[in-house]
C-alpha cells in the first residue's frame, strides 16, 4: 500500500510552501517543490510524481497553463488545486477540470491532509485482486465490499472498522506471502504510529472471526510461527 508517495508542491508563496512541505514530509511523503509555474511543470514532467499540489496564481506560468500542459502530456499524476476564493474563483469554475480535487485558501493543513488521504484511498480503493461486477472481492465463503466497509456472508452483513479494512486490503495485496509483524506495522500503520505487535494479533483475531468459517482453525489467515501471517483467498 505504501508505494512511493511522491508529491510535488508548486506554490510561490514561500511561507505556505514551506509549511506544506513540512507537513507532507512528516507524513512520510517524498516531497518535491517549485516556486513558479515553469519550474513546476518541468519537475512534474521529469519526475511524474503521484500527486501535485498546484497553486493557481504563479509567476512565469499560471496554474491553469501548468495543468493543461500536464494533462496534454498524459501525465497520470493526481492534481489538487490550491486556489484563493477571490479573483480566480470564477476562472476556477470554468477551468479547473482535469484536477482531482481542489482546496480553497485559506485552508487548514488538516483539511488538506484529509483530502490527500481520501484521494489515496480512492486510488488504492477498489481492490487488488479479482473483484466481481459489483466491486466485491471473494474470500472463500465470504465477500468483502471495500466501498461499503463490510463483509458479506450469505445474507449476513458485518461491518469492518477502518483498521480492519486496511489490514485486510494489505493482506489481499500480499496474498500468499508470509509477512512479519514489523512490516505489517510499518506498512499499514505507518512509521509515525508505533503500537505493539500484539495489536496486530488482536486485529487478526477480529478479522478471522469475520472471514473464516471456523476462526479456531483458520484457512485464509494463517499463522507462520515465529514470523507473522500469511493470507490466502482460496479455500
Distance (Å, whole) CA 160 – CA 151 = 7
**Which of 141/223 has CB closer to DNA?**
223
Out of 18, 25, 182, 205, the only residue in the binding site for DNA (CB under 7 A) is 205
198 binds, among DNA, a copy of itself, none (CB under 5 to 8 A by kind): DNA
Distance (Å, whole) CA 34 – CA 91 = 23
Among 27-35, 41-49, 90-98, 208-216, which window interacts with a copy of itself (CB under 8 A)? 90-98
Cα distances (angstroms) measured from residue 2 to each of 29, 50, 57, 89, 134: 10, 12, 32, 34, 26
Distance (Å, whole) CA 89 – CA 64 = 12
Rounded least distance, CB 159 to DNA, Å? 6
Cα distances (angstroms) measured from residue 172 to each of 56, 120, 147, 177: 39, 17, 15, 10
Distance (Å, whole) CA 156 – CA 145 = 13
> For binding to a copy of itself (CB under 8 A), which residues are involved?
13, 15-16, 19-20, 22-23, 71, 84, 92-102, 104-111, 114-115, 118, 121-122, 124-125, 133-135, 145, 147-150, 159, 161-162, 176-178, 180, 182-183, 191, 194, 222, 224-227, 230
> For binding to DNA (CB under 7 A), which residues are involved?
159, 161-164, 181, 189, 193-199, 201-205, 208, 215-216, 223-228
Amino acid at each position: 500500500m505504501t508505494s512511493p508517495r511522491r508529491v510535488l508542491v508548486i506554490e510561490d508563496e514561500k511561507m505556505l510552501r514551506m509549511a506544506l512541505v513540512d507537513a507532507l514530509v512528516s507524513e512520510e511523503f517524498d516531497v518535491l517543490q517549485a516556486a513558479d509555474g515553469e519550474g513546476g511543470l518541468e519537475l512534474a514532467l521529469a519526475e511524474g510524481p503521484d500527486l501535485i499540489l498546484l497553486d493557481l496564481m504563479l509567476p512565469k506560468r499560471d496554474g491553469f497553463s501548468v495543468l493543461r500542459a500536464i494533462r496534454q502530456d498524459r501525465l497520470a499524476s493526481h492534481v489538487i488545486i490550491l486556489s484563493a476564493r477571490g479573483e480566480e474563483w470564477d476562472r476556477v469554475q470554468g477551468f479547473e477540470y482535469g484536477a482531482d480535487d481542489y482546496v480553497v485558501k485559506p485552508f487548514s493543513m488538516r483539511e488538506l491532509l484529509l483530502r490527500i488521504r481520501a484521494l489515496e484511498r480512492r486510488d488504492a480503493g477498489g481492490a487488488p485482486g479479482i473483484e466481481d461486477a459489483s466491486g466485491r472481492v471473494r474470500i472463500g465463503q465470504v465477500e468483502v465490499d471495500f466501498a461499503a466497509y463490510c463483509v458479506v456472508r450469505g445474507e449476513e452483513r458485518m461491518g469492518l472498522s477502518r483498521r480492519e479494512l486496511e489490514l485486510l486490503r494489505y493482506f489481499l495485496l500480499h496474498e500468499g506471502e508470509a509477512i512479519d509483524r514489523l512490516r505489517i506495522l510499518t506498512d499499514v500503520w505507518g512509521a509515525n504510529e508505533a503500537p505493539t505487535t500484539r495489536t496486530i494479533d488482536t486485529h487478526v483475531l477480529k478479522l478471522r472471526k469475520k472471514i473464516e468459517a471456523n476462526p479456531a482453525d483458520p484457512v485464509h489467515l494463517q499463522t507462520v510461527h515465529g514470523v507473522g501471517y500469511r493470507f490466502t483467498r482460496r479455500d
